[in-house]
Amino acid sequence: MKTLVIQLARFGDIYQTWPSLRALSEKEGSQVHLLVRDSFKAATLGLDSKIRVHTLDSKEFLEPIIHNEGEEKALERLNSFLETLDKESFDQVINLSFSPFSSEMTSHFEARGISVLGYTRHRDGHLNIQGDASAYFYAQVGVHRPNQIHLVDIFAMVCGVDLTDNHKHGFVKVSSEFKTPSARFAVLHVGASDRGKSMSPLQLSHLVNLFLETQDLDLFLIGTQSERDLSQKAVPLLGSERVFDFTGQTSLPDLFELIRKAEFLMGCDSAPIHIASLLDVPVLNFNNKSVNSFETGPFSRTKSFISIDEVTELDSEKFSGTLQKLIHGESGFLNSSSTFVQSQWEMIQSIYMGERYPTKILQMTAVHLSELLEQIPKVYVASERPEDEVNQGIIRQFDRFLERAEAQDEVLGVLIRWFNTERVRIPPGELSLVKAATLQKLNDFYMILTDWARVLGEGMELIDDPSFIEMDLNSVIKNFRFFNLPAAMDDLERLLPQISFLSSTEVLSQEIQSALRIPDYSRLADLLEYKLKPQIQDVHSVLL
């Protein structure tokens, strides 16, 4: 079996593809080829030599367009590139890129009778999501999504391979002449794949000071030339002979060598944490809200996590404790934060892994769920005759409802994304076939919702929803400010019972009652805006 794996994403994703490539190449009679972008080819350095690497240089195709030489020349170059790949006569193409371009490229191979996995295109040009793992990616993977399955494992699922520790942390053949100035050290990557995911110079210097205070190891700073400004700003604040700044001074083989010999690596979301993972070096990962560390964090056997936002509040005891555990092979848990986020993950587990449904939900979810259970039978009937204009209106209204509910309601959103993905997976064809498939998906959706409603009926717990309350509160404040009193009083009456979970409600209620008695509506609006709203926002930030 000759397989082409398409991985056109960046460094980190290529490193996270290595375990699947190793597993694929182990299969009897297997020949594995990998396609990466020319600019990220360096991430294949050290990969098993039996995996043949091809590169795609977008500049080559785009130059004629960018320099006004015409699209024909660009097309000629693209044709020639595709022909070169065609000559390899692949039996199978696996697309691990999940991008529009890669889906078009995969469909090129599919059109030539080659079996494909991952994103491709239907015969009418619409997106075709091949395989359940790719469908899972489409529906649930990405930053701000509640996925907790690592990308390494998702790639393996798309490829249809089972990973062992040897695949994840196998032999890496990279050699370097780099001489380390000391034998016992840790490595700190000062940057990240983008600046939004990295530490500030102040956070960096605080972290390094803590390290020097609590550890007897030397510290080697690494990073690209463009990240040197970060270390240069942080290093003068340190003034220690135990810190060595190698940012912008190491080649990729040097990095492998440094990380391999390190006691552990500390770093934000970027390729070095994945290099360390491939080498099975313990990793202390710093993350923030721009990263889903469950998904793209380190996959070393030993790893721990600290939020970047907490770095400046870290004391030496906590920091030292975390590192001690790491050095002794004890992993830290990645905090899935709130009940709210946990419920979203439980929803994923229930749909995809047959686990129990979440029973801790927002009041809003209960409302949306009952609305859906009422709407779907009508939508089902309408979908039987979609050519009817009235029915089209019902279906459009249902789609708008789903769009709104997905945006507002993150637990139900998981289920809505699953349903929408299943609908995207319906292939083009005769109207009767498309209709039958759509009705089947609607029925599946309804069955899941009914089942969940049954479980909730046996016992559910409502989570207070501060974001929902905040929206109501803004409306009350506005109405009091503009003396729209009947609406303001109605809204306030509805709002007050919802804030009973706040610790200072009693005092605040008395102040509100006092302002109402006078009556001083401006004072009332101020109380709501400057005393109540910040408390709700605090709770909201903790929940999310």
- What residues line the site for another protein (CB under 8 A)? 8-10, 13, 37, 39, 58, 61-62, 65-68, 71, 74-75, 78-79, 82, 97-105, 107-108, 111, 119, 121-127, 137-138, 141-142, 145, 424
3 state SS of 328: coil
Cα 534 to Cα 528: distance, rounded to the nearest angstrom: 9
Smallest separation, CB 147 to another protein (Å): 11
Query: With respect to another protein, which residue has the nearer C-beta, 25 or 106?
Result: 106
Smallest separation, CB 490 to another protein (Å): 39
Query: With respect to another protein, which residue has the nearer C-beta, 79 or 504?
Result: 79
Q: In one letter, which amino acid is 261?
A: K
Backbone Cα Rg of the chain: 28
Query: With respect to another protein, which residue has the nearer C-beta, 58 or 240?
Result: 58
Q: In one letter, which amino acid is 173?
A: K
Query: With respect to another protein, which residue has the nearer C-beta, 139 or 539?
Result: 139
Name the nearest CA neighbour of 213 among 189, 184, 243, 234: 243
Query: With respect to another protein, which residue has the nearer C-beta, 67 or 517?
Result: 67
Helix (H) or strand (E) run with residue 398 in it: helix 389-408
Cα 267 to Cα 257: distance, rounded to the nearest angstrom: 17
Cα 495 to Cα 167: distance, rounded to the nearest angstrom: 55
* Tokens, residue 209: 């000071």
Smallest separation, CB 307 to another protein (Å): 23
Smallest separation, CB 18 to another protein (Å): 17
Q: Is 494 exposed, middle or buried (0-12, 13-18, 19+ CB in 10 A)?
A: exposed
Query: With respect to another protein, which residue has the nearer C-beta, 93 or 528?
Result: 93
Smallest separation, CB 79 to another protein (Å): 7
Query: With respect to another protein, which residue has the nearer C-beta, 74 or 314?
Result: 74
Q: At what angle do helices 71-86 and 58-66 cross, to 10 degrees?
A: 160
Smallest separation, CB 50 to another protein (Å): 26
Name the nearest CA neighbour of 98 among 114, 120, 113: 120
3 state SS of 494: helix
Smallest separation, CB 273 to another protein (Å): 17
Dihedrals phi, psi of 172, to nearest 5 degrees? -115, 115
